[in-house]
Homo-oligomer: A and B are copies of this chain.
Amino acid sequence: MTVTETPESTCDVLIIGAGPAGLMTAAWMARSGIKTRIVDKRGTKIFTGQADGLQCRSLEIFDSFGFADRAWKEANHMLEICMWNPGADGQIRRSDRVPDTPPSISRFTECVLQQGRIERFFLDHMKEHSDIEVERGVLPMSLDVDEAQVEDEDAYPITVKLRHLTDEEAMPKQVKLASEGVTNGDGLYRSNLSPDDTDDLIRKNREKGGTEEVLKAKYVVGCDGAHSWTRRQLGFEMQGEATDFIWGVLDIIPITDFPDIRQRCIIHSADQGTLMVIPRERGLVRLYIQLKEIVPDAASGRADRSKITPDIIFKAAQKILSPYQLRYNYCDWWTAYQIGQRVSPSFSLHNRIFLAGDAVHTHSPKAGQGMNVSMADGYNLGWKLALTVQKLSATRTSLLSTYSPERRAIANQLIAFDHQFSRLFTGRPARDIADKEGVSMADLRAAFDQNALFTSGLSVTYEPSALISIPHDALPAVEAPPSTPHANHPPPKLIPPAPRSPLATRLPIGTRIPSYKVVNQASALPLHLHALLPSAGPSPPFRILLFAGNMVAPAQSERVRAFCRALESGLLRTFTPPNVALNTSAAPLQVLTIHSAPREDVELLQHFPAILHPFDEQRGWDYERVWCDAPSYHEGWDRAYEGLGIDGERGAVVVVRPDQVVAWVGDVEEAVAVEEGGGLRAFLGGVLRVW
């Protein structure tokens, strides 16, 4: 070994792993100007296969960063699920059709797009908004925490040794084979049936020279996959178990007379197992097939990988689809995996090191959840990290300490869901109504209906905490009765069961706020509420949504004016750094107004106090802060007040976190109540730094 001087540097945040969870975390860092490094041991990003399901909430999150349109344009949209079941003659036939995404729950529907493209959108986004770049072929060799320093806001208590690999070392075996002309050489190289090579790489690298550096970080985020090296450094053991079920996955351009090949299908054959069809972009179709003949070894619990080939997977699919014909000339990717459901006991250590994505939860991929839940981890964590590094949080841990409980609860729900879903898939179909062991179509359909909200990612509900405030008079957390369907607008949106304020009876607290189109007071532009809540820097803002009610009524107008006076002298002043102008896009606390008076009956400058549309000497008034729940000329009327259950006369105040999650609901008087113990002041005091 040669001894060379090891360079040493610092960063605020080190992200280990540049998959979806790591890139999502990095997206917040990029928007917030946080000094960030993101490393990945692989020398290249992935180009085919891997995860592909994009759920509604993920698309909404992409939209908050400004690139949902790219995904939406390239993805294959899945509209319908077709259920196929054996008839009395044992032959499969279509038994049901259901919408893949329930109508009206989101602006988006479920769609599928190859993981590599999604990573590309994140990389482009980082490039547009920051100088953060993924450093590929960089392997973490050791991680040490100086526990004496973890409570010191200014310290860099984590030391990570990084090794820069050679191209040869960093190239995944499959990519190497592909570059040598071997197509789909080993579809299992990233499967959970294959051993991880990280330790091997580290061991090999210890024994020889190479470029190494020492990095001191304030925070580390481990997004390094199911075999997470970071998690293992923290000593967290995944909890849960593997099953005996082995599934194969094949991405092909099918040539077939099966009529529903461009639909998402669940095909239960009489005795050949179950097949799931996922139509994809560019004419591709993904097939998920249970491999009944591959049985894990009793001793090791692992299947013999050498027996699994694309041909075995394909032949199993052909049998299930019979009498329909299936063949292909092009295979894009294949793999196989053993279903297992596991969760890490904690997602963080000292509120300094965090774990996200597959590093802390693994499950079966068939419901298209993996990439989405992983990204949602990063989305939950990123803004909390950014505000903390910027010293805009109430204390160093007031935001960060909510990450592990919030996301671990979701991971546990995911596992419970996956248990149920996998059983329905893996079980044989019921022969008749008396066949209690088989899975009935009715059970399957009910599971789809009940789980549609869950799989969409829209029912995620965070429990009460410093970040989620439940009013004392909250309505109970049962599903809200749908309001009467209205002839002129879409059916009421499904809402998850969660506590609600009597002031917003259809707005679950702790969930993301649903989006409705509102109309700009100054320009008549209709825009989705979500478009007004971007995941933007320089500091991820908490937003006070002032549902101002009917501003034409003198009494209501006076209530709102009183609120605005208190807002200007109190709340905004308290939570905005002295060098930042109140209620501008640079402030960590911002106000957005949505009123319910007829748009033509009010004037922006006359009816709305200046603080609601702040003035700037270079730009004039801010015309994009006051909106109206009113009919638009070309895009109908979404009736936001009705949808949220807010009174059109008196309105309400809703506070959403930077991740669009509803955190506080009250009326204008409560919002500016001066007592320390109550109101919005008390809530924000537990969240944001007081200036």
Residues of A within 8 A of B (CB): 69, 73, 77, 79-80, 97, 99-101, 103-104, 109, 253-257, 259-263, 279, 283, 329-330, 487, 520, 522-526, 600, 603-606, 617-620, 623, 632-634
Contacts and interface: CB of A to CB of B under 8 A. Distances in A.
A104 B634 CA distance: 7
B77 A253 contact: no
Contacts of A633: 79-80, 99-101, 103, 109
5 contacts: A77-B525, A97-B600, A253-B618, A259-B522, A329-B618
Q: Indicate the member of A330, A603, A606, A618 with the most B CB atoms within 10 Å.
A: A618
Contacts of A600: 97
A634 B103 contact: yes
B634 A283 contact: no
B523 A263 contact: yes
A524 B98 CA distance: 11
B330 A618 contact: yes
B525 A617 contact: no
Given A77-B525, A103-B633, A263-B523, 7 more contacts: A79-B525, A80-B633, A99-B634, A100-B633, A109-B633, A259-B606, A263-B522
B634 A109 contact: yes
Nearest to A283: B619
Contacts of A79: 523-526, 632-634
A2 to B, nearest CB: 48
A329 B73 contact: no
A69 B525 CA distance: 17
What number of copies of this chain does the assembly contain?
Answer: 2
A80 B524 contact: yes
A80 B520 CA distance: 11
Nearest to A329: B618
B605 A259 contact: yes
Sorted nearest first, the 9 A-B pairs with minimum C-beta distance are A79-B524, A262-B523, A255-B620, A80-B524, A99-B633, A262-B522, A262-B623, A259-B603, A103-B634
Tell me whether chain A's interface is mostly helix, strand or loop, or mixed. loop
A523 B279 contact: yes
Contact of A487 (B261, B487, B604): B487
Contacts of A632: 79
B524 A263 contact: yes
Q: Indicate the member of A101, A330, A523 with the most B CB atoms within 10 Å.
A: A523
A107 to B, nearest CB: 9
Nearest to A109: B634
Contacts of A261: 522, 620, 623
Contacts of A101: 633-634
